[in-house]
Structure 1
Amino acid sequence: MEVHDLSGGAGVLARVEEAARRALRRYDLSPHAAVTLISVSENATFAVEDSGSRTILRVHRLGYHTLDAIVSELDWLEALRAEAGIRTPAVIPARDGSRVVTVEDPGAERRACVMFEFLPGGEPAEDRLAEHFEPLGALTARMHRHAREWARPSAFTRFHWDCDAAFGPIARWGRWQDGAGVDKEAHAVLTRLEAALRDRLGRFGKGRERYGLIHADLRLANLLVDGQAGTSVIDFDDCGLGWYLYDFGAAVSFIEHHPQVPQMIDSWLRGYRTVLDLPKDDEDEIWTFVMFRRLLLVAWIGSHTGVEFARELGAGYTRGACELAERYLSGSL
């Protein structure tokens, strides 16, 4: 696993902000444009204010994606917008027409940067989650239908979200065994969970109707609900090849214990089936993908200790994962 360089503290973030300011010089912006850090997760995201207009600049972490992979992400994001009617943020090209610009980061490699339009809306309200999951199911199915039909560019390249990427020797987000609070007892439970997931997903298979190009991070924070415009999908940074049902597992990221999850599942399925068929055998594995994502997130928290949200979740998230794992393994989910 690559070291998450953006977890390196205030000094690194100061350099990343300087890289962001250098990137802005490549765009048609005034020299007085204001740059404000919004968040740090896999990448650093900045709001850019210039003469009353607002855009979003993403500064990439080092070592996570190649330039070809970033271009491939943008190709799909733009195709969804143009061909499937999915509201995604438009990519704003630099002055020379480049969609991806690279700039010097003092003391590091060159960083890739992408500018997006600012889209209105906010995260779905927690007291109306089940209600939001029906349109989310339909939206997800439209994305899956496009992914199946889309002729990818010849240079298209994105990584996989399969068992090897999750639990293999070079796991993408690190080893769950190194997660916060993984003591002897938790290790035993989660080892059983990993074995069960590998077995069930091995039998589920990677047939064309089950495995393909997915967003892979359709959690609530990446949905913008606007009363007039509808729902927008942002942050395609993790999009790649995986099981289509993984997109539901990602949708309940960090809220897997919510008492409305069964209703969310029913609502999501109802919406999904207005666009695409979903066989009963696939529906029966929904909790498999919830637990697959949950175990990945235990690893993510352990490998992102410099990210405030990961620190806040900490060992409590691992304890919750063990509780859910016991229920899953006993067949009570």
Structure 2
Amino acid sequence: MATNFDNPELFQWVAEQAAARYPFDNPGCRLLAFSENATYLIFDPVTGEKLCVLRVGRPGYHTRPEYESEISWLRQINDYTPLTVANPIPARDGSFIQEVTDPATGNVYFCMATEFLSGETLEHETDPAAVPRHFEMLGEITAYLHRQTEIWNGTKEIVRPHWDCDNMIGPHAIWGDWRAYPELTPETQGAIERCVGIIYRRLERYGKTPQNYGVIHADLRDTNIIVEGDAVKVIDFDDFGFGWHLHDLAGALTFIEERDDVPDLVNAWLDGYRKVLPFTDTDFVEIDTFILQRRIQMLAWLASHQDSTPVQGYMEGYLDGTMGLVDRYLKLFG
């Protein structure tokens, strides 16, 4: 699955076309990152004021109803939780979603602008002693989001993907097949496949209930939490969809699952989560399953997104760390 970021000039052009539709005079447009989408800072070139953040989606990744669902949830979070999220900004005509068509290919790019949120992300904290506190905060934030979706009647109107086993680690997963990871050998692939079979069986038994499955952020890491004074702000809802609540815990540990302090971070996350919602023993015994499922899902993401900005520093040592988790999982459940 290609990410279509091999033509950054085209994405820049699309962003500039979309930015011109908003109530800003001759705004500047600077690339922030390529990931599942291309994200741009829209700013005043004279004063340097940060006006908004503009996201340009890859053609075919999200549909208009999926973007409309994101707008609906963002509004609910701002209205009914203590959290702050970036509100969508309307264009001059009042619309929140802009369609820009590439005249050369006919491809349609959906674009959406949101408020620029000031502050620092949790990842910028340099004190190692602060990391457990961050995970406690992540757990509490996650529980607020889960509680909001449990009581919101509008969840039945949401149009978003389901992050289930098939869509994460199946052969036709949304982010591609993990077997395409370039460094796999027959031995490593075989070991991971044994784990995949166990994960499928365990999660089939775990089931999907209103208490363990619903609308989730799906990428609630320290990179997506901004803190400014007492204000806590959540960003990057591009992956949100339906999934197991525990996937949000696994998501918080993305790329660090093999670290020695993970048990402490999990416990801190649980401490935060339990401030808002209960967490059962049945949930607890599947934590390792969700962590490994996320790790395997990211094998597929890394393999299929090698032109994305974050991937450049993540692949080194990733397979070795994955195999350590695989060996441990097979000893526990194999």
Shorter-normalised TM-score: what interval?
over 0.9
Partner residue of 2:181? 179
Percent identity over paired residues: 37
Partner residue of 1:236? 237
SS at the partner of 1:44?
strand
> Which AA in structure 2 matches 1:66?
T
SS at the partner of 2:55?
strand
C-alpha displacement at 1:243, in angstroms? 0.1
> Which AA in structure 2 matches 1:75?
S
Partner residue of 2:42? 48
CA offsets 1:23-68 (integer angstroms, 9 cap, x no match): 111111112x211100000000011111443111111111111100
Partner residue of 1:19? 14
SS at the partner of 1:56?
strand
Partner residue of 1:118? 116
CA offsets 1:253-305 (integer angstroms, 9 cap, x no match): 01112222111111111111111111111012112111111000011001112
> Which AA in structure 2 matches 1:241?
F
SS at the partner of 1:92?
coil
Distance in 2 of aligned mates of 1:155 and 1:288? 30
C-alpha displacement at 1:230, in angstroms? 2.7
Distance in 2 of aligned mates of 1:231 and 1:192? 40
Judge conservation of contact 1:182–1:315 (CA < 8 Å) in 2: no
Judge conservation of contact 2:23–2:92 (CA < 8 Å) in 1: yes
Partner residue of 1:245? 246
Partner residue of 2:132? 130
C-alpha displacement at 1:193, in angstroms? 1.2
Distance in 2 of aligned mates of 1:244 and 1:281? 13
Judge conservation of contact 1:134–1:267 (CA < 8 Å) in 2: yes
Partner residue of 2:205? 203
2:168 to 157, 166, 169: 166
2:150 to 148, 151, 168: 148
> Which AA in structure 2 matches 1:266?
N
1:58 maps to 2:60: no
1:35 to 29, 38, 47: 29
Distance in 1 of aligned mates of 2:223 and 2:60? 24
Distance in 2 of aligned mates of 1:165 and 1:153? 20
Judge conservation of contact 1:216–1:238 (CA < 8 Å) in 2: yes
Distance in 2 of aligned mates of 1:199 and 1:92? 44
Judge conservation of contact 1:174–1:303 (CA < 8 Å) in 2: yes
Judge conservation of contact 1:301–1:311 (CA < 8 Å) in 2: no
C-alpha displacement at 1:155, in angstroms? 4.6
C-alpha displacement at 1:167, in angstroms? 2.8
> Which AA in structure 1 matches 2:114?
F
C-alpha displacement at 1:106, in angstroms? 4.2
Partner residue of 2:94? 97
CA offsets 1:59-88 (integer angstroms, 9 cap, x no match): 111111110011101111111111123211
Distance in 1 of aligned mates of 2:144 and 2:38? 29
Unaligned runs of 5+ in 1: none
1:84 maps to 2:81: yes
Distance in 2 of aligned mates of 1:137 and 1:167? 24
SS at the partner of 2:134?
helix
> Which AA in structure 2 matches 1:76?
W
Distance in 1 of aligned mates of 2:204 and 2:188? 24
Judge conservation of contact 1:35–1:47 (CA < 8 Å) in 2: yes
Unaligned runs of 5+ in 2: none
SS at the partner of 1:266?
helix
Judge conservation of contact 2:98–2:111 (CA < 8 Å) in 1: yes
1:289 maps to 2:290: yes
Distance in 2 of aligned mates of 1:258 and 1:121? 27
Distance in 2 of aligned mates of 1:71 and 1:232? 21
Distance in 1 of aligned mates of 2:236 and 2:303? 22
Question: Per the alignment, do residues 215 and 153 of structure 1 end up closer, same or farther by CA in structure 2, a change over 3 Å counting?
Answer: closer
User: TM-score by structure 1 length?
Assistant: 0.93
SS at the partner of 1:5?
coil
> Which AA in structure 2 matches 1:105?
D
Partner residue of 2:222? 220
> Which AA in structure 1 matches 2:294?
R
